[in-house]
C-alpha cells in the first residue's frame, strides 16, 4: 500500500485493537488486556508466552496466564503484517510481535472489536537465529590457513567426537520422520544432537510396512522442514519413495544419525541434570549423557495385539498389521483380518488383489471418507495445488490451522462432514447396505477430530470400500471369541476358516516406550500421550485443550515427546526445537500451565 492510500476499516480496527492490547501489556495490566477479548475467547500460545503449548480460554484464563507471564515475557511491538480479511462478521489478521527473548508472529480474529481467537507463536530466539536466507552460512573461509578443514573433514571430525569425547545436548530416540524433522531443526539451531534408530537406514520405518502402502495424506500436507518436495512428486507417496526421501534428507541436512542403534535403558540423574542413556550400537554398548531426551518412537510404533484364547494353537500365519509382509504368499489362501480401520482396509484390498479369499472382522463402527472428497472438501483450502496457486504457503497453512483452538475445531468440522455425507450419499448407502457399520465420530466431527482424539477409528478410502460394498471383501461383524487350529471363531459361534490372521488392531500409547526404556514409574508420571481429553471413545476427559504430552514439557524433567503425521511433525518440530535451544543456551524458560496427568495409558 502506498503511504497515502486510505487504510481500510478492517485495518484500522486491527491496528486499534493491537495498540490497546500492546499498551495494556506494557503496563502489566493483565485484566485490562483480558477485557479486550470476548467473553468466549481463546488464546493459543506456542511457546511465546508460556514456554509451553497451551490454549487459555475466556477472560479469566487469559488474565491468569498474563499475570504469570507478563513480567518476564515483556511483549511489545504488536503490528499487523498484512491487510486483514473480513468474512461473516469476523476480521482476521496476521500479526507479529517481540518478546524479551524472541520474535513471534500469530493470527488474530476480531468480532465486534473484541478478540475471539489469538494465536501467538515464538519464531526465533534473539541472538540464536537460524542460518537461513540472508543468514545462510558462507560455506567457505577465504584466505590462507594451513589448518583449514574441508567441509567433509569437519563432518568427519564431528562424527568421531560426538557421543564419544563430546556429549550431545539432545538425544532423539527414534529416527523416523519425526526424529529426522526435529533433528534438522536442531541442526539449524546449532544444538548438538544424536538421533538413535534401531533400523539401519533413515526411512526404514516406512520401508518395513506392508508392501501396498502409500501415504494417505497428499503431498502439500507432507513437506519436511526446509526442503519441499519437488513439483513432480506424486500426490500420494509410495512408502518406499518417502523412505528414500527421508534418507536423502537426513544426509543433506547433515544429521548425526546413528542407525542400527538401540536405546536400551535410561535414567535421569537429577543432580547432574542429565540422562544416562545406554545404547547398543553395532553390538557394543555405549553410554550417552545428554541433557535432554526426546522420545520420537512413533505413535504407530508399539503394536497393540489382543490376546485371544487358542492363538497358540493356530497353525497358519498370524501377525500384527505392522509385521504384515504383504500379500505375495497368500494367493488362493483364506485371510481373516481383524479390525476395520486404515491398515485393515489397505491389507484386505492388497490381499484381494492377489487372489486371496478375504474376510474383514468389524468389531466396532468405523468412519470412512473417500480420499478424493477429503482432499477437495476438508484439505483443499489449505493444502492443494489450488491453494498453492492462490498464494497459500505451507507455513501459512500450518499457522491457519493452529489458529483454530481445538475447543471450537470439532464444531467447525461438523458442517464439513455434513457436506461430505451429502456429496457421497450413494457411496455410504452402498457401504451400509453391505452391513458395514459406519459412524461420523461421536459428535459428527469426522476424521480429523478422530485422529486428534484417538488416532484411530477411520479409513481414508482409496478403493477398499468398493470391495467391501460389492462383497468381494467379506464382512464379519462382532467380537472374536477364540482361535482354533484353522479358524477364527466369533462370539456368536460363526467360524471363519483361515490360513492367515492379521491383527489390524492399532497401537499403544507412546508412554509405553518410556516404560520399556526408563521405568514404569516414569511412564506413569508422564501419563498418556496423545488425545485432547474430549471425553469421547479412547480420549477420556477432562478437557486438556492440547495434545497430551506432545512437543511440550512433561511431568518428567528433560523428557519430551515428538511425532505425529508429517504436517504435525513439520510444524511442531520448530517449537520443540526452540524450547530445547533455549535450555541449551541457559535462557530462563518458566513454564506456564504444565499439564496435569489424569490417565496413565
Ligand atoms: C499404515 C500406516 C499408514 C500411515 N499413513 C500416514 C500418512 O499417510 N501420513 C502421515 O503423515 N502419517 C501416516 N501414518 C502415521 C505414521 O506412523 C506416522 O506419520 C509416522 O511413521 C510417524 O513417524 P514417527 O517418526 O513419529 O514414528 P515412526 O516412523 O514409527 O518412527 C519411530 C522410530 O523409532 C524407532 N525406535 C523405537 N524404539 C527405539 C529404540 N528403543 N531405540 C532405537 N530406535 C527406536 C523405530 O525403529 C522407528 O523407526 C501412517 C501409519 C501407518 C501405520
d(CA 184, ligand 1 centre) in Å: 17
CA dihedral 175, 178, 179, 180 (to 10 degrees): 80
Q: Which residue has better confidence, 221 or 142? A: 221
Question: Mapping DSSP to helix (H, G, I), strand (E, B) and coil, where does residue 453 land?
Answer: helix
Q: How many CB atoms lie within 10 A of CB 98?
A: 17
Give the residue among 544, 528, 535, 543 at the shortest CA–CA distance from 443.
535
Q: What is the pLDDT of residues 569-600, one digit of tens each?
A: 999 999 999 999 999 999 999 999 999 999 99
374 vs 492: CA distance, rounded Å: 36
Residue 414 has pLDDT above 50, yes or no: yes
d(CA 296, ligand 1 centre) in Å: 8
Q: Which of 181-190, 510-519, 574-583 has the lowest mean pLDDT?
A: 510-519
User: What was the pLDDT predicted at 281?
Assistant: 95
d(CA 175, ligand 1 centre) in Å: 9
Residue 276 has pLDDT above 50, yes or no: yes
**Pair type for strands 53-57 and 193-196:** unpaired
State which of 173, 209, 297 you would mutate to test the pocket of ligand 1, scoring each by most atoms of that ligand within 8 A of its C-beta. Answer: 297
d(CA 550, ligand 1 centre) in Å: 15
d(CA 298, ligand 1 centre) in Å: 4
**Pair type for strands 334-338 and 357-362:** parallel
Residue nearest atom 46 in ligand 1 by C-alpha distance: 174
Estimate the share of the chain in helix, then strand, then coil, as percent rounded to the nearest 5.
Answer: 35, 25, 40
199 vs 201: CA distance, rounded Å: 6
State which of 561, 565, 571 you would mutate to test the pocket of ligand 1, scoring each by most atoms of that ligand within 8 A of its C-beta. Answer: 565
User: What was the pLDDT predicted at 2?
Assistant: 45
Q: How sure is the predictor about 147, in pLDDT bands with cuts at 50, 70 and 90?
A: confident
Quick one: cell of 64? 491468569
User: What was the pLDDT predicted at 188?
Assistant: 97
Q: What is the DSSP letter of 53?
A: E
Closest ligand 1 atom, CA of 174? 34
Give the residue among 192, 183, 179 at the shortest CA–CA distance from 289.
192
Residue 1 has pLDDT above 80, yes or no: no
State which of 198, 222, 320, 515 you would mutate to test the pocket of ligand 1, scoring each by most atoms of that ligand within 8 A of its C-beta. Answer: 198
d(CA 149, ligand 1 centre) in Å: 37
Closest ligand 1 atom, CA of 566? 11
User: What was the pLDDT predicted at 302?
Assistant: 84
- Inter-residue contact 475 to 359 (CB < 8 Å): yes
Half-sphere exposure of residue 275: CA atoms within 13 angstroms, side-chain side = 29
- Inter-residue contact 490 to 479 (CB < 8 Å): yes
Q: What is the pLDDT of residues 349-358, one digit of tens each?
A: 999 999 999 9
Give just the sign of the alpha carbon dihedral 154, 160, 163, 166: negative
Residue 209 has pLDDT above 90, yes or no: no
Question: Mapping DSSP to helix (H, G, I), strand (E, B) and coil, where does residue 161 land?
Answer: helix
Give the residue among 128, 56, 167, 137 at the shortest CA–CA distance from 579.
128
Q: Which of 63-67, 149-153, 257-261, 559-563 has the lowest mean pLDDT?
A: 149-153
Residue 210 has pLDDT above 70, yes or no: yes
Span 113-126, mean pLDDT? 98
- Inter-residue contact 587 to 177 (CB < 8 Å): no
Q: What is the DSSP letter of 238?
A: B
State which of 171, 172, 175, 176 you would mutate to test the pocket of ligand 1, scoring each by most atoms of that ligand within 8 A of its C-beta. Answer: 176
d(CA 475, ligand 1 centre) in Å: 29
d(CA 71, ligand 1 centre) in Å: 40
Q: What is the pLDDT of residues 162-183, one digit of tens each?
A: 999 999 999 999 999 999 999 9
Closest ligand 1 atom, CA of 300? 17
Q: How sure is the predictor about 159, in pLDDT bands with cuts at 50, 70 and 90?
A: very high
Give the residue among 512, 510, 514, 517 at the shortest CA–CA distance from 531.
510
Q: How sure is the predictor about 411, in pLDDT bands with cuts at 50, 70 and 90?
A: very high
Residue nearest atom 15 in ligand 1 by C-alpha distance: 565
User: What was the pLDDT predicted at 5?
Assistant: 64
Q: What is the DSSP letter of 368?
A: E
Q: What is the pLDDT of residues 297-346, one digit of tens each?
A: 998 778 999 999 999 999 999 999 999 998 999 999 999 999 999 999 99
Residue nearest atom 38 in ligand 1 by C-alpha distance: 297
| Pocket-forming residues, ligand 1, beta carbon under 6 Å | 173-179, 196-199, 205, 209, 213, 215-217, 262-263, 296-298, 300-301, 342-343, 513, 517, 563, 565-566
Q: What is the pLDDT of residues 420-447, one digit of tens each?
A: 999 999 999 999 999 999 999 999 999 9
User: What was the pLDDT predicted at 199?
Assistant: 96
Closest ligand 1 atom, CA of 199? 47
User: What was the pLDDT predicted at 4?
Assistant: 52
User: What was the pLDDT predicted at 549?
Assistant: 97
Residue nearest atom 22 in ligand 1 by C-alpha distance: 298
Beta bridge pairs of residue 560: 294
d(CA 78, ligand 1 centre) in Å: 39
Q: Find all residues with CB under 8 Å of 415, minimum gap 6, and list them.
A: none
d(CA 300, ligand 1 centre) in Å: 5
d(CA 14, ligand 1 centre) in Å: 42
Work out the mean pLDDT of the chain and round it to a whole number.
96
525 vs 501: CA distance, rounded Å: 36
Q: How sure is the predictor about 142, in pLDDT bands with cuts at 50, 70 and 90?
A: confident
Residue nearest atom 35 in ligand 1 by C-alpha distance: 174
Quick one: cell of 295? 522420545
Provide the residue count of the chain. 601
Q: What is the pLDDT of residues 225-256, one digit of tens each?
A: 999 999 999 999 999 999 999 999 999 999 99
81 vs 83: CA distance, rounded Å: 7
Of all residues in the chain, the percent with pLDDT exceeding 90 is 92
Residue 465 has pLDDT above 50, yes or no: yes
Give the residue among 161, 138, 30, 107 at the shortest CA–CA distance from 396.
107
CA distances for 579 relative to 41, 75, 463, 511, angstroms: 26, 18, 42, 21
Q: What is the pLDDT of residues 62-75, one digit of tens each?
A: 999 999 999 999 99
Beta bridge pairs of residue 487: 497
User: What was the pLDDT predicted at 543?
Assistant: 96
d(CA 73, ligand 1 centre) in Å: 36
Half-sphere exposure of residue 383: CA atoms within 13 angstroms, side-chain side = 22
579 vs 124: CA distance, rounded Å: 10
Amino acid at each position: 500500500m502506498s503511504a497515502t492510500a486510505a487504510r481500510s476499516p478492517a485495518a484500522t480496527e486491527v491496528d486499534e485493537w493491537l495498540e490497546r492490547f500492546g499498551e495494556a501489556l506494557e503496563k502489566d495490566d493483565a485484566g485490562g488486556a483480558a477485557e479486550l477479548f470476548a467473553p468466549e475467547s481463546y488464546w493459543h500460545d506456542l511457546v511465546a508466552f508460556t514456554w509451553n503449548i497451551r490454549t487459555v480460554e475466556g477472560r479469566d484464563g487469559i488474565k491468569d496466564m498474563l499475570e504469570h507471564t507478563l513480567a518476564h515475557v515483556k511483549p511489545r511491538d504488536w503490528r499487523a503484517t498484512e491487510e486483514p480479511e473480513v468474512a461473516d462478521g469476523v476480521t482476521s489478521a496476521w500479526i507479529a510481535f517481540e518478546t524479551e527473548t524472541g520474535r513471534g508472529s500469530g493470527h488474530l480474529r476480531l468480532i465486534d472489536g473484541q478478540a475471539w481467537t489469538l494465536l501467538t507463536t515464538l519464531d526465533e530466539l534473539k541472538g540464536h537465529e537460524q542460518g537461513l536466507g540472508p543468514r545462510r552460512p558462507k560455506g567457505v573461509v577465504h584466505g590462507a590457513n594451513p589448518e583449514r578443514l574441508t567441509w567433509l573433514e569437519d563432518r568427519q571430525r564431528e562424527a568421531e567426537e560426538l557421543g564419544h569425547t563430546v556429549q550431545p545436548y539432545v538425544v532423539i530416540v527414534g529416527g523416523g520422520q519425526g526424529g529426522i524433522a526435529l533433528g534438522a531443526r536442531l541442526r539449524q539451531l546449532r544444538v548438538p544432537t544424536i538421533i538413535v534408530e534401531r533400523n539401519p537406514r533413515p526411512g526404514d520405518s516406512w520401508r518395513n510396512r506392508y508392501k501396498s502402502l502409500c501415504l494417505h495424506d497428499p503431498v502439500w500436507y507432507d513437506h519436511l522442514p526446509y526442503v519441499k518436495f519437488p513439483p513432480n512428486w506424486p500426490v500420494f507417496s509410495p512408502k518406499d519413495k518417502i523412505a528414500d526421501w527421508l534418507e536423502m534428507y537426513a544426509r543433506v541436512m547433515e544429521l548425526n544419525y546413528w542407525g542400527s542403534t538401540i536405546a536400551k535403558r535410561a535414567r535421569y540423574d537429577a543432580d547432574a541434570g542429565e540422562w544416562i542413556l545406554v545404547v547398543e550400537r553395532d553390538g557394543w554398548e555405549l553410554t550417552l549423557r545428554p541433557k535432554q531426551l526426546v522420545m520420537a518412537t512413533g505413535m504407530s510404533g508399539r503394536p497393540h495385539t489382543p490376546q485371544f484364547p487358542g492363538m497358540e494353537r493356530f497353525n497358519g500365519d498370524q501377525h500384527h498389521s505392522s509385521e504384515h509382509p504383504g500379500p505375495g504368499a497368500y494367493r488362493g489362501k483364506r485371510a481373516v483380518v481383524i479390525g476395520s480401520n486404515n491398515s485393515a482396509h489397505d491389507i484386505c484390498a492388497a490381499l484381494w488383489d492377489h487372489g486371496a479369499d478375504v474376510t474383514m472382522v468389524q468389531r466396532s463402527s468405523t468412519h470412512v471418507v473417500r480420499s478424493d472428497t477429503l482432499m477437495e472438501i476438508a484439505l483443499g483450502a489449505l493444502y492443494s495445488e489450488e491453494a498453492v496457486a492462490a498464494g497459500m504457503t505451507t507455513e501459512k497453512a500450518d499457522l491457519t490451522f493452529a489458529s483454530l483452538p481445538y475447543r471450537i475445531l470439532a464444531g467447525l468440522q461438523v458442517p464439513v462432514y455434513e457436506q461430505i455425507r451429502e456429496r457421497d450419499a450413494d457411496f455410504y448407502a452402498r457401504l451400509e447396505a453391505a452391513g458395514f457399520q459406519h459412524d461420523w465420530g461421536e459428535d459428527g466431527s469426522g476424521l480429523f477430530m478422530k485422529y486428534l482424539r484417538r488416532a484411530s477409528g477411520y479409513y481414508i478410502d482409496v478403493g477398499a470400500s468398493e470391495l467391501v460394498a460389492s462383497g468381494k471383501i467379506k464382512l464379519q461383524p462382532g467380537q472374536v471369541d477364540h482361535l482354533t487350529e484353522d479358524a477364527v471363531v466369533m462370539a456368536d459361534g460363526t467360524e471363519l476358516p483361515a490360513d492367515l490372521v492379521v491383527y489390524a488392531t492399532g497401537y499403544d500409547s507412546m508412554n509405553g516406550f518410556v516404560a520399556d526404556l526408563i521405568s514404569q514409574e516414569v511412564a506413569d508420571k508422564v501419563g498418556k500421550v496423545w488425545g485432547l481429553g474430549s471425553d469421547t471413545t479412547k480420549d477420556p476427559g477432562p478437557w486438556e485443550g492440547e495434545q497430551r504430552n506432545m512437543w511440550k514439557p512433561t511431568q518428567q524433567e528433560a523428557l519430551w515427546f515428538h511425532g505425529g503425521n508429517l504436517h504435525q511433525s513439520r510444524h511442531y518440530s520448530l517449537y520443540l526445537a526452540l524450547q530445547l535451544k533455549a535450555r541449551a543456551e541457559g535462557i530462563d524458560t518458566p513454564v506456564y500451565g504444565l499439564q496435569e496427568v489424569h490417565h496413565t495409558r
